[in-house]
Amino acid sequence: MALPETIRILVVDDHTLFRRGLMALLSREPQFEVVGDAADAGEALRRAQELQPDLILLDNHLPGVRGVDALPSLREAAPAARMLMLTVSEDEQDLADALKAGAAGYLLKTIEGDALATAIRHVMAGESVLAQEMTSKLVAAFQGASSAVRPAPPQTLATTPATPSLLGSLSPREREILRGIARGASNKEIGRELGIAETTVKIHVQHVLRKLDVSSRVQAAVLATENGLT
C-alpha cells in the first residue's frame, strides 16, 4: 500500500499537556498533518466524522469510556481511517480487545518520537505494529487465555499458521531466533542469550521474516506459537 503524500492525524487523549506535546511532536514531521484533537470519546466521534482523518491516534484511558470500546464507533464515523492505540496500559485484555475491534496497532506511551513516526508510516502502509513489551502478552493470548484476539481483521494479524515447509526452511539458529521473538525478547536479549552480536540477531530476524513470508515480528510470533515452536 502506497503512503499518502500527507498523513492526516486526529489525536485523542484526555491529558491536555500530553496531547499538546504529542501534537507538536507529530507536527515536526513534514509528512504528518495534525488536523484535530479530542479529549474524550464523544468529541473524538464528532471530530472523526467531521475531519475524516487518515489515522486516529487513540489513548485507552478516556473519561467515561475506554478507547478500545470507542473503536467500533470511530471506525463507523471514519471508515477509511486507520486506528492506532497509544496508551500506558500493558493489560493483556486491553490489547486483545483493541485488536479484536480492528486497531492496526498497539503502542505504549514510553515509545520514542522517531519510533512513533515510523510506526505510523508502517500502519499507513497497511502493516500492523505492536509495542515490543506487548509481544509476549499477544502470544499468551494466542496460547489460549484470550481467544478474543483471534477474530482480529486480516490486516491486523496474520492468522494463518505457517506451513511445515516454511518452518522447515529455517536453520537451527533461525528457529532459536524465532523462539526468542515468540517470547517477546528484544534483539539484544536474544543475542545475550545465544552469545551472538545484536547486529547478527538483526540479520537473522530479517531472514526469518523473509522465509516465513511475514512483515513483522508480531506475525512471526503468532505463527511460531500456532505451530508449537515456543
Q: What residues have CB less than 8 Å from 21, skipping those under 6 apart?
A: none
- From first to last of its 230 residues, the chain has per-residue pLDDT tens of 567 789 999 999 999 988 999 999 999 999 999 999 999 999 999 999 999 999 999 999 998 888 999 999 999 999 999 999 999 988 888 888 888 888 888 999 888 888 899 999 989 988 888 887 787 777 665 555 433 333 333 333 433 444 556 778 889 999 999 888 877 778 888 999 999 998 899 899 889 988 888 766 766 776 777 677 76
Domains of the chain: 7-138 (3.40.50.2300), 158-226 (1.10.10.10)
What is the pTM assigned to this prediction?
A: 0.64
DSSP string, 181-226: HHTT--HHHHHHHHT--HHHHHHHHHHHHHHHT-SSHHHHHHHHHH
| CA 196/CA 119 separation, integer angstroms | 27
